[in-house]
Amino acid sequence: MITLKQLDYALAIEKNLHFKKAADECFISPSTLSNAITELEAHLGLQLFERNNKQVIVTQAGREILQKAKLVKNEIKGINELAEIFSKISRPISLGIIPTISPYFLPLILPKIEKELPSVSLKIEESQSNILVKQVKEGDLDIAILALPYDTKGLKTYPFWGEDFFLVTHQNDKLAGKSEIKASELHESKLMLLSDGHCLKDHILDACKIRSSISYSLKASSLTTLIQLVKGKMGSTLVPQMALKELVANQKNLFVSHLNEPGPHREIALVCREHYPDQENITNLLEIFSNVFKQ
């Protein structure tokens, strides 16, 4: 009979592609791990892993079976979560959030959650969209805050805020002084964007109908860095409305122009698994999120 421990051990090997590292992660000895996998493979009548002294390879059959194992693990996690809710055991909600939202969003909502939902405890993790979506789907996170459009197929998506982009330029820039700016005018100033992997870059390129990778210059890993480069007269950048106050307030040498293109240029949304059990707190959190932006 297949056991959950055997599936956990097999998934740890798939993750690490190394028996000793997988054993350490599971807090067992390598021999215990190896014996459990041998028993699992014997029960299944096929090999999940090819291994020798130098490497571990997941077989084609192993990949498909372990994909099913992940689904089983999620279902078991769901059972435990339901049990906690029904027995009124307080459990932190693990929340993922992308770095182009977290510094500007969290200071607004955390005091509200503490005041209005004192029984809710959040465990927060910051990462890029592709990682957060994978973690939510696999049960490593309960919910995540993302910017749309983004592929969230297989997850429930709750948009709660739409916003436009604003061009930030140095006061000496050719485009400074305009309250509204069209995407077609951006060629007059050196446009700097976030590096690949940040969905904000893709949203900006989409809003501005920029398709060529050479249509913008320097790339950075954070909006804060981009603003410092603008202050240094290196070029201009586009930032979301949510970040304007934090990034540009009291910066006398910077000028802000609204990107006058069809919007909203991006939507902020909460995502969770289809059968995530704590829907009551999802509803409560969404109400707080929406109300923050109405103020």
- Does pLDDT of 286 surpass 90? yes
**Is 66 part of any domain?**
yes
Question: What pTM was computed for the model?
Answer: 0.69
Name the percent of the chain lying above pLDDT 70.
94
**Is 238 part of any domain?**
yes
Please state which of the ranges 183-197, 220-234, 276-290 shows the lowest mean pLDDT.
Answer: 183-197
What's the pLDDT band for 213 if we cut at 50, 70, 90?
very low
Within this chain, do residues 199 and 253 fall inside the same structural domain, yes or no?
A: yes
Within this chain, do residues 70 and 106 fall inside the same structural domain, yes or no?
A: no
Total domains in the chain come to 3
Within this chain, do residues 176 and 234 fall inside the same structural domain, yes or no?
A: yes
Predicted pLDDT of residue 214: 43
What's the pLDDT band for 275 if we cut at 50, 70, 90?
confident
Predicted pLDDT of residue 197: 66
Instruction: Identify the CA nearest to 9 among candidates 52, 49, 45.
Output: 49
Segment 16-45, tens digit of pLDDT: 999 999 999 999 999 999 999 999 999 999
Segment 81-121, tens digit of pLDDT: 887 776 655 678 999 999 989 999 999 999 999 999 888 88
Where in the sequence is the domain holding 9, given as residue range(s)?
4-85
CATH number at residue 57: 1.10.10.10
Distances (CA, A) of 207 to 84, 190, 201, 204: 44, 17, 10, 5
Give the whole-angstrom CA distance, residue 236 versus residue 234: 7
